[in-house]
């Protein structure tokens, strides 16, 4: 069972920047893990990023065993997963980050595939 998520500080800063850039729309991506640390984000081509949802086709992802999680933003102050988020978490598995407005490091919450919160460790 996953209890903690390790994410590279540079990636976290980039994800916060993406969330700010996409505002007032959501953005979504896939997280690549190397050596137990999330280090990169992939934005699937052909996605839709709207004010209340983000959609992407997982068939557009490369075959990559290092993709172990997802990230998406909420353009409001609610960092908890919606019913749609929980459905997606259960289908994709892994770790899921939600970044909510106003998009600071304190506005990032990690969840497992069942929607249980996880601790986040930011590493240099």
The sign of the CA dihedral 97, 101, 102, 106 is negative
Q: Which helix (H) or strand (E) holds 70?
A: strand 67-74
Q: Which helix (H) or strand (E) holds 13?
A: helix 9-22
Q: Which of 13, 26, 39, 65 is catalytic?
A: 26
- Is residue 26 annotated as part of the catalytic site, yes or no? yes
Task: Please give the positions annotated as active site.
Answer: 26
């Amino acid at each position: 069972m996953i209890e903690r998520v390790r994410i590279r500080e540079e990636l976290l800063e980039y994800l916060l920047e993406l969330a700010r850039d996409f505002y007032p729309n959501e953005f979504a991506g896939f997280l690549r893990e190397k050596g137990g640390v999330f280090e990169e984000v992939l934005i699937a081509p052909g996605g839709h990023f709207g004010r209340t949802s983000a959609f992407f086709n997982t068939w557009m992802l490369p075959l990559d065993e290092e993709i172990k999680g997802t990230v998406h933003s909420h353009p409001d102050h609610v960092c908890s997963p919606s019913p749609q988020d929980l459905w997606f978490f259960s289908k994709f598995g892994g770790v899921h980050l939600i970044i909510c407005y106003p998009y600071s490091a304190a506005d990032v919450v990690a969840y497992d595939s069942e929607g249980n919160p996880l601790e986040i460790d930011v590493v240099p």
